[in-house]
Amino acid sequence: MRTVAYREALNEALSEEMEKDDRIFLMGEEVGHYDGAYKVSKGLLKRFGEKRVIDTPIAEGGFVGVGIGAAMVGLRPVIELMTWNFSFVAADQLINNAAKIRQMSGGQFTLPIVFRGPGGSAHMLAAQHSQSTEALWAHIPGLKVVMPANPKDAKGLLKSAIRDNNPIIFIESEVMYGDQGEIPDGEYTIPLGVGEVKRPGKDITIIGWSKMVKIALGAAEQLAAEGIEAEVVDPRTIRPLDEDLIVESVKKTGRCMILEEGWPFNGVGAEIAYRIGRRCFDDLDAPVERLTGADMPMPYNHHLEVQCLPDVPRAVALAKKLLYLE
């Protein structure tokens, strides 16, 4: 095992896959000469050249469309969006082309393309740059949505995403690029659609993804000090969702809370809660609860921003409520 940063794990995945397959190329704003806005693509231009690491204008609708066309004719693009907040500029390309061309062509075209970049809130970036978009993209048939929570998952899932023959929405947390974590030595991948139990427990299931896994693990640690064993489940892939893993955990614990950075209405957590209710109704000892981001645009002020996001104290309090301890 080696300890690397989240951004370094992503860089390794890109470099290793580009080395193996010369059809893979990276394209986006500042990915080349600047080494990427978050340094994920550091060194790739020098290693692979300007034909495979391509700096673009500030025109998401344009270069996303170019990537889709390239995938249709046999290349395997990785399109970096400087932030998923900018994906709305390319919404028509992503929704009406990337997601639908394979089905509308009767399988005559495949779309082996990865759209990746940072998402969610960061620090004081305000309403237009602090949005969790996974519920929007997961709503679209034809798109797979992946959200790694640590360096090991980031590398293994990105390698699988690049090898997949479908369009992948790959959302990285904007505040986790410097996070350190262990990754296996040598070649490995993590299959899409397979979640993971990050911490075993028997009293309550806590479900979270991306940076919410850190909140879930922090809450589980505090609960453990009081003799409460919380099981932390990370779906890793929002669509396809590892529903069986979630159901297995909830059937074991009888209680469940879902942590979600995004807005509550029509959120991913609402879909997961519905599926739990449908399959675990007789196993639940309490209603499924959600702790989400505030139902409002993100304020710029740091203190207000903190109040808008799930945190460990609120997660602990909600878990105790579900366990009828408060």
Paired with 305 in beta bridges are none
Q: What confidence score (pLDDT) does residue 298 get?
A: 96
Q: What confidence score (pLDDT) does residue 325 get?
A: 80
Q: At what angle do helices 6-20 and 151-163 cross, to 10 degrees?
A: 30
Q: Residue 88: how many CB atoms within 10 A of its CB?
A: 15
Residues of the chain with pLDDT under 70: 326
Per the CB < 8 A criterion, the answer to whether 97 and 72 are in contact is no
Same fold yes or no, 2-183 and 196-322: yes
Looking at domain 2-183, its CATH architecture is 3-Layer(aba) Sandwich (3.40)
Dihedrals phi, psi of 297, to nearest 5 degrees: -60, 145
Which residues does the annotation mark as catalytic?
Answer: 60, 129
Task: Indicate the helix (H) or strand (E) that contains 165.
Answer: none
186 in helix, strand or coil? coil
Phi-psi region of 317 (alpha: psi -120 to 50; beta: other; left: phi over 0): alpha
CATH numeric code, 196-322:
3.40.50.920
Distance CA 104, CA 116 (A): 24
Q: List the domain boundaries for the chain.
A: 2-183, 196-322
Biggest alpha carbon–alpha carbon distance for the chain? 60
Q: What confidence score (pLDDT) does residue 326 get?
A: 61
What DSSP designation does 59 have? -
Distance CA 192, CA 148 (A): 11
